[in-house]
Amino acid sequence: MLSSKLQIPRSNNYSEVKLRFVLAPERVEEVIDPVMLDDKQLQREVYGIGHAAGVDLLSYEKPKESSASTDTFVIIQQGKGRGNQVGSEDVRIEITTRGIMTIDCDITGQREAQNNRRSMSAFSFLLESDVVEGLNKCFGFAKAFFDWKDPYLRFDRFLYNSVLSNIGYRPLLTEPPKGNSMTMRMENDQPVIAFDDFRTITRNDLSNYESQVTATLKLFGRRLKSPY
């Protein structure tokens, strides 16, 4: 079931690089009461965690909507299109009653997007700092969520993985290239999964997630290395 969370449909839209973050408690037990999935208090708590300083996964300036099914709670935040129009999905958070968390976020030119602009460079390459920023937001959200829902640490071990999609021909760079020449990637249509198998992490790893961000970036770097 978790492997299916990593299967992102192929897309012809390479204008936005998407990061997918998947985290699941190893312990198979209810984290959220299914009766409470459409409860306003749950919605307020999750919204609050997403907006909290130090997490910043959600933005007060962007429109959002939430929904609930029999076993899943979803929040979708829309990005900004041209002018003040609503754009495509900026962030999507899905949490199941078992605590399986799937977060999709647009990491295309994060620093530029914060200033409500996106230069052509965002469509030419992917910066490591943008990947790190996206991972930090996802891990920060997951940590805060389980600190809230599981203060007594019943869920101590988790399975984790991340995926990059819609990369196109962008290379992954440490810093913007100097000059006008740049080597592009050959592969352009397949999502890139960080780890071959889901990585087992502990609650301590989730609380001190910097090493997991570094490990994920290293694996992405190996898989996105230019063949030239």
What DSSP string runs through 140-162?
A: HHHHHHHHHH-TT----EEEEEE
As a whole number of angstroms, the distance between CA 139 and CA 73 comes to 18
Give how far the C-alpha of residue 30 lies from the chain's centroid of Cα atoms, to the nearest Å.
23
Question: Would the pTM count as exceeding 0.75?
Answer: yes
Q: Where are the domains of the chain?
A: 16-223
As a whole number of angstroms, the distance between CA 44 and CA 203 comes to 24
Whole-number Cα distances in Å, 50 to 45, 83, 85, 150: 9, 25, 23, 17
As a whole number of angstroms, the distance between CA 25 and CA 154 comes to 10
**Would you write out the chain's pLDDT as a tens digit for each of its 228 residues?**
888 999 886 665 657 899 999 999 999 999 999 999 999 999 999 999 999 999 999 999 999 999 999 999 999 999 865 444 445 789 999 999 999 999 999 998 654 444 444 455 556 788 999 999 999 999 999 999 999 999 999 999 999 999 999 887 788 888 887 766 556 666 666 889 999 999 999 999 999 999 999 999 999 999 887 443
